């Protein structure tokens, strides 16, 4: 014998859009949607926004932050008619920083993970492109690396909208108070990470960039951007309970209090 029960009266499919932004490999297909083409369209949309907001920009070169942002950054540079250059070399043995357990470990790992190529930065106004900004730790460190490598101005563009709310459906995302986008506008975030200016993708444009690959998908989970949780049962008290349960220190598997920092290899 077996028993089944339908938990939702009118279930509707709403896949997580952050898979297309960050987690999925570019050669993946999700629900028939090419992740690679989605990211190309993200680059198109982001370039158009830059032209709207900063029509008289003085960007010299577009540089992606490896690896996920490469596809969007390449298309963005094409749309803007700008040079695309690889300005960072990645250490393949360092994992993704936003899901690392401690803030100090995340800061240290950014410097261990990337090495700037000075020749691509020296004396230039650079536009750094990343897939998203979560805590802001990585963005702040990388912008400083670009300045240390000789960049005259450092602009920043995110292929995703501001992450303002935690994800509760499986991604180990920070509590709301750790998110740099929570209760800050773009100007405040730019100041916090040290960018000369900052541009975020609009949520409507992100959804359009992904949905175009499969018009049959009528809805995506965009809760980390807009706070609209698809299950309809995520309340402020539930989020507060999760925050109390969550502790960076409790998840820390080893001591990371050492002060070892790997600086720029090429910095003079």
End-to-end CA distance of the chain, in Å?
A: 73
**Which pTM does this prediction carry?**
0.84
Percentage of the chain lying above the pLDDT 90 cut = 66
Tens of pLDDT, residue by residue over 220-241, are 999 999 999 998 889 888 888 8
For residue 107, the model assigns a pLDDT of 54
| Average pLDDT of the segment spanning 187-204 | 98
Question: Which 3-state string (H, E, C) describes the chain?
Answer: CCCCCCCCCCCCCCCECHHHHHHCCCCCEECCEEHHHHHHHHHHHHHHHHHHHCCCCCCCEEEECCCCCHHHHHHHHHHHCCEECCCEEECCCCCCHHHCCCHHHHHHHHHHHEEECHHHCCCCEEEEEECCCCCCHHHHHHHHHHHHCCCCEEEEEECCCCCCCCCCCCCCCCCHHHCCCCCCCHHHHHHHHCCCEEEECCHHHHHHHHHCCCCCCCCCECHHHHCCCCCCCCCHHHHHHHHHHCCHHHHCCCCCCCCCCCCCCCCC
For residue 268, the model assigns a pLDDT of 40
pLDDT tier at 30, thresholds 50, 70, 90: very high
Mean pLDDT value across the chain:
87
Least confidently predicted of 92-101, 181-190, 244-253, 259-268: 259-268
For residue 199, the model assigns a pLDDT of 99
Tens of pLDDT, residue by residue over 55-93, are 999 999 999 999 999 999 999 999 999 999 999 998 876
pLDDT tier at 260, thresholds 50, 70, 90: very low
pLDDT tier at 19, thresholds 50, 70, 90: very high
**Rounded distance between C-alpha atoms, residue 122 and residue 6, angstroms:** 60
More confidently predicted of 151 and 261: 151
For residue 233, the model assigns a pLDDT of 87
Tens of pLDDT, residue by residue over 110-160, are 667 899 999 999 999 999 999 999 999 999 999 999 999 999 999 999 999
**Rounded distance between C-alpha atoms, residue 208 and residue 203, angstroms:** 9
pLDDT tier at 7, thresholds 50, 70, 90: low
Residue with tokens 């950014």: 110
């Amino acid at each position: 014998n077996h028993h089944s029960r339908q938990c939702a009266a009118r279930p509707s499919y709403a896949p997580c859009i952050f898979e297309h932004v960050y987690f999925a490999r570019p050669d993946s297909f999700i629900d028939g949607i090419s992740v690679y083409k989605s990211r190309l369209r993200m680059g198109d949309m982001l370039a158009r926004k830059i032209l709207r907001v900063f029509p008289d920009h003085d960007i010299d070169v577009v540089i992606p932050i490896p690896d996920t942002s490469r596809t969007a950054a390449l298309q963005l540079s094409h749309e803007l008619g700008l040079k695309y250059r690889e300005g960072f070399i990645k250490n393949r043995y360092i994992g993704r920083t936003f899901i690392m357990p401690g803030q100090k470990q995340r800061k240290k790992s950014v410097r261990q993970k990337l090495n700037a190529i000075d020749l691509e930065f020296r004396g230039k106004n650079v536009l750094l492109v990343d897939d998203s900004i979560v805590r802001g730790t990585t963005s702040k460190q990388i912008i400083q690396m670009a300045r240390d490598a000789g960049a005259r101005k450092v602009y920043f563009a995110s292929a995703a909208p501001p992450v303002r709310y935690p994800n509760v459906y499986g991604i180990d995302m920070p509590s709301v108070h750790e998110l740099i986008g929570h209760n800050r506008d773009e100007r405040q975030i730019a100041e916090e990470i040290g960018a000369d200016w900052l541009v975020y993708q609009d949520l409507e444009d992100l959804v359009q960039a992904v949905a175009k690959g499969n018009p049959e998908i009528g809805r995506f989970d965009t809760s980390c951007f807009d706070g609209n949780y698809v299950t309809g049962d995520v309340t402020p008290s539930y989020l507060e309970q999760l925050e109390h349960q969550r502790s960076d220190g409790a998840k820390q598997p080893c001591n990371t209090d050492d002060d070892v920092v790997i600086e720029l290899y090429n910095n003079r």
